[in-house]
Every structure is written in C-alpha cells, then in structure tokens.
Amino acid sequence: MKRVRTRMVSSQPKYELIQEVGRGSYGVVYEAAVKRTGARVAVKKIRCHSPENVELALREFWALSSIQSQHPNVIHLEECILQRDQLAQRMNHGSSSPLYLEVRTKNSQEQGWWQYTVV
C-alpha cells in the first residue's frame, strides 16, 4: 500500500468551469480553466452518495498510480485532493493538460480542504 502525505490547501477553487463536454455513468466532464494561469483543463465531477463509492474512486486512484508508467495511454496521476464534502483528483493527460476529478461525499466532518499526495 502506498503512503499518503497530507497538507492544508487553499479554500479557493483552482478551476473555473466553462462548459460541459460529456456525461457518463459515474460523472460529468467539464472544460475548465486554471484560475491562476488560464490553462485549459478537463474537470470530472462524480457524485458519491455512499462510502462505497468513495472507496471505489480511491481504488481507481491507486490503480492509476500503480500502472501509469507502464503504458503511454494511461493518464498520469499527479495529485489527490480531499476537500470539505468532496474528494478531488488532478491528473495529467498526454499533452500536459491536467484533468481534475471531484468526488462529492454526502456527509463529511472535515473542515477546510486537504491535499492527499499518493507517493
């Protein structure tokens, strides 16, 4: 199992959603911009109404981090961010355009936003 480092991050959103680009069984993908740099990114938001859905998302994160160096078509996992009522993941997709995944949890006792870096 991988170690996880945590640190407090800003409560201000890093991304501005521009438009919806796709929908699937587990979430919605948006075109977005990084507020600080203006870089275009993809943001995937997944609603989770149970702890099982959060656990499933975490398994995907760890699977990606385990196989990302084994194939050029696998998205590179850059970071995982836990936010109040949300779990978010920022990933790099090929042309240095990051993807950002948010998983919303129904009941969270966390205050503030926490960044989890899988190492």
Question: What residue spans define the domains of the chain?
Answer: 14-114
* Widest distance between CA atoms in the chain: 38
Tens digit of each residue's pLDDT, the chain (119 residues): 545 444 444 556 777 889 998 887 666 778 878 888 888 777 767 666 666 766 777 777 777 667 766 777 766 555 555 544 555 555 544 444 444 444 444 444 443 333 333 33
How do strand 40-47 and strand 97-104 relate by DSSP bridges? parallel
- Name residue 113's beta-bridge partners: 9
Entry pTM = 0.50
The residue behind tokens 């936010």 is: 83
Confidence (pLDDT) at 101? 44
**In CATH terms, is domain 14-114 a member of 3.40.50.720?**
no
| Tokens representing residue 51 in the block | 């702890």
Task: Establish whether 45 is an annotated binding residue.
Answer: yes
**Distance, CA of 32 to CA of 98 (rounded, Å):** 10
| Tokens representing residue 105 in the block | 């949890």
